[in-house]
Structure 1
Amino acid sequence: MDIMDFLHYCQVEKGLSQNTVQSYQRDLKHYIVSLEKAGVSKTADVERRHILDYLHAKKEEGRTTATLSRYLSTIRAYHQFALRDGKTTKDPSELIETPKKSRKLPSVLTSQEVDRLLEASKGTTAFSRRNHAMLELMYATGLRVTELCELKSGDVHLEMGFVQCLGKGNKERIVPLGKVAAEAVETYAGNGRFELMKQKRHDTLFVNHHGNPLSRQGFWKILKGAAEKAGIEKPLTPHTLRHSFATHLLENGADLRAVQEMLGHTDISTTQIYTHVSTHKLKDVYLHYHPRA
């Protein structure tokens, strides 16, 4: 059972990111192993029960509802492609209901915690200037970590105050950039990046100690180090800064549609989860300050 045509379709025709395509490949690899164990070697021979058996086995292994939902989404995309491509005459995933997942409120930092985190990343070395610029830029724009790491020097327009980035599905968007973050990026670009480049030739903005583009894992280490230095003990991921960016904007009166545009969400329902976070904070304020709460 060959999935390479499907992966090529996802990357070239649909324009999905490399990370998404790799995720599809990993998920389908496990799915195909399961089918082969069941004696199924052709896509056309897959039946609804085979998919249900696979999902049930994964649930027994302790996979979360969100993960099961992702598995089914990948499987469904593959079978729909196979149907269109003439590899089969049916889609066995068509009538399988997507597992209902509860939407957890994202973890966010308070404004004070963000201040501590950004202050802790300051320094005069090339590494410190890079780290501080990345954290300031992520909180100022709400970029995804992959978008941040893939930024080119020409994508950040400091004087005009905006960032161009390529998001999911290769969709470009423009995000405003505040003065503080712009100054941090300018300091790094002028007094840090050249030192780290080590005569390498490329235009990726943020680089590691070898002069190569910084990876997502590299940024994770930067964030973890700054959090430890700032004394922040709550669970913290690169996405936490993106969540904090959106939540703080809405708490201060930003329009939901504008936040949706800045985050690059296709569906506004994805953005609406941040309104629940803001409402949750309002309830905390009420309980703390109302005399009869």
Structure 2
Amino acid sequence: MNWKAKTLLHKGVPRIAVYFEKNAALIARIKTFEDARWSASNKYWHLPDTEANRLHFKLPLAHTLVPNAEGIASIETFKRYLLSKRYSPNTINTYSEALKSFLTFCNTKAIKDISNEDVIAYNNDFILKNKFSSSYQNQIVNAIKLYFKIVKESSIEIDKIHRPKREKTLPNVLSKEEVLKIIDSTENLKHKTLLALIYSAGLRISEALNMKPKDIDSVRMLIHVKNAKGKKDRYTLLSEKVLQLLREYYTIYKPKDYLFEGQFGGMYSSRSAQVILKQVAEKAGIKKPITLHTLRHSFATHLLESGTDLRYIQDLLGHSSPKTTMIYTHVTNDSLKKIKNPFDV
């Protein structure tokens, strides 16, 4: 296999990047690795930074890569606990990997002897030293707090575990014209319908891909979003134009189980949808860094700019707290446009 591999941070998470020239056989082979993903912007495949993957790609092993025997057993217990609490598979995987990272750092200690000082040392000597993001650090804190709640004998004081200072970043938002450019530049009907639906209903990509045809209520002009984040159901808006697209799409593609299905059936891939957006955005001449979630951010911002009450936007997006929705007041330019620039006076 003619490849080159190296460890790196991908969006603040430790991964192994694999580079090789485009080749169907090599692509098929890399896809056999668990959680293998293609980064269209960086032009590499990336995999979890695990001992097995390091060995496969002949990368040096880190001495803290594996937890001790007690730690490995604890991670399995933690997974069963999360499963019994009905956490989503994605959350279980995220929290388990986060706990694994912390327990590998503490692999010379028994679980009962791990203390708050070890958490501080982990933050300083691993998180900060490797320049991991505060969101990744926050995932670790969530996992540690949740795990040590179920540990009978522990030296950890859960309430004294501090969180990283929140990064005050604002979401990237497209103008209405830019959204229309993207949708109009999408020639494939399935892709056009998917992107238009995500924007017009303010959906998370997981919500759009989990949707069934019966969730579209064309009589009430609503979309039933089921079992979304936090295991909550909600209703959101159904656009007249998107309804027309959906009817045309349904007539041609005739989806069986999910509204959007892959070439051979089953749920459509979120990775494929993300790649499609990148390609179409480039074709439309959009230079901003965007993801599928940018369409959801844009939906909320455009509603706010058109005068929609923040409480309604919160309901449409399915936010538990109004504080989450309030971020869109900082990206709308409706109020800013009313201010006369002193340079122009």
Q: Which deviates the most, 214-223 or 283-292?
A: 283-292
User: When the two structures are aligned, how many residues end up with a matched partner?
Assistant: 271
- Residue in 2 that maps onto 1:74: 143
Contact 2:202 2:299 in 1 (8 A): yes
Which amino acid is 2:110 matched to? S
User: What aligned pairs does 1:109-258 form with structure 2 within 5 A after superposition?
Assistant: 109-121=174-186, 123=187, 128-165=188-225, 166-193=227-254, 202-258=256-312
Inter-CA distance 254–147: structure 2 relative to 1 (3 Å threshold):
same
- Residue in 1 that maps onto 2:115: 47
Q: Which deviates the most, 242-251 or 21-30?
A: 21-30
- 1:67-87 deviation per Cα after TM superposition (whole angstroms, max 9, x unaligned): 2222212211211233xxxx2
- Displacement of 1:210: 2.2
- Report the Cα distance in structure 1 between the residues aligned to 2:122 and 2:237, rounded to whole angstroms: 45
Report sequence identity in percent: 31
- Residue in 2 that maps onto 1:4: 76
- Residue in 2 that maps onto 1:108: 173
Match of 1:61 among 120, 130, 133: 130
1:23 aligned onto 2:88 = no
Using the size of structure 2 for normalisation, the TM-score is 0.74
**RMSD in angstroms over aligned alpha carbons?**
2.0
Contact 2:174 2:294 in 1 (8 A): yes
Match of 2:335 among 279, 282, 289: 282
- Report the Cα distance in structure 2 between the residues aligned to 1:242 and 1:289, rounded to whole angstroms: 34
- SS of the aligned residue for 2:174 comes to coil
Instruction: Give unmatched runs, 5+ long, in structure 1.
Output: 195-201
Using the size of structure 1 for normalisation, the TM-score is 0.86
- 1:79-131 deviation per Cα after TM superposition (whole angstroms, max 9, x unaligned): 1233xxxx22554332122111122110000011011011111x4xxxx1111
Q: Which deviates the most, 209-218 or 89-98?
A: 89-98
- Displacement of 1:205: 1.2
Contact 2:174 2:295 in 1 (8 A): yes
Q: Which has the higher strand share?
A: 2
- Residue in 2 that maps onto 1:265: 319
Contact 2:113 2:155 in 1 (8 A): no
- SS of the aligned residue for 1:174 comes to strand
Inter-CA distance 288–204: structure 2 relative to 1 (3 Å threshold):
farther
Q: Which has the higher helix share?
A: 1
